[in-house]
Amino acid sequence: TQAPFIRKEREKGKRAEGLRYERKVHEAFEAQFGANYVASPWFRFQEVGTDKARWCQPDALLFDFRKGQLTIVECKLQHTADAWWQLRWLYLPIIAKAFPGNLWKISLIEVVKWFDPAVAFPEKVKMRADVVDSVPGEFGVHI
């Protein structure tokens, strides 16, 4: 199911550059991982104590059936704390509910074009040469 509020207008500037980078990441990972890589899935959810449904769309999910691991992928042109907030506080709780922990281990990875270690970040990151090396519990970064 697709969210009913999909943008139809053309993006410009940095946003357009970021979307072009995200498409390149999707193309590369789809070629590498095939059907185990799901780009831009939509999730509909309801916050506790509210009646209103909300939507979110992680950049991708990568399934490793051998390890029983699901990696939530966030693509950014450059390393940013925004990725942390999205992955830790939005996508992780929703995806963990959809894919229970007794069935799946969930890991997080930010895929970036540029990495600046001086960027203020809420937790220590672990650099990963390959997205399949992400580990549940840590915040991985792949350039």
The pLDDT tens digits of the residues spanning 7-66 come to: 666 677 888 999 999 999 999 999 999 999 999 999 999 888 888 899 999 999 999 999
Task: Answer whether residue 110 shows pLDDT above 70.
Answer: yes
Q: How far apart are CA 15 and CA 49, in angstroms?
A: 33
The pLDDT tens digits of the residues spanning 115-139 come to: 999 999 999 999 999 999 999 999 9
Q: State residue 7's pLDDT score.
A: 62
Q: Which among 112, 83, 87, 110 is positioned nearest to 24, based on CA atoms? A: 112
Pairing between β-strand 105-114 and β-strand 139-142 as defined by DSSP bridges: parallel
* CA 121 to the chain's CA centroid: 17
Q: State residue 13's pLDDT score.
A: 81
Pairing between β-strand 139-142 and β-strand 125-127 as defined by DSSP bridges: parallel
Q: How far apart are CA 101 and CA 80, in angstroms?
A: 27
Q: State residue 50's pLDDT score.
A: 87
Task: Answer whether residue 2 shows pLDDT above 60.
Answer: no
Q: Cβ of 95: how many Cβ atoms within 10 Å? A: 21
Whole-Å CA distances, 101 to 32, 60, 105, 107: 26, 19, 6, 11
Q: State residue 47's pLDDT score.
A: 85
> Sorting pLDDT into bands at 50, 70 and 90, what band is 3?
low
> Sorting pLDDT into bands at 50, 70 and 90, what band is 102?
confident
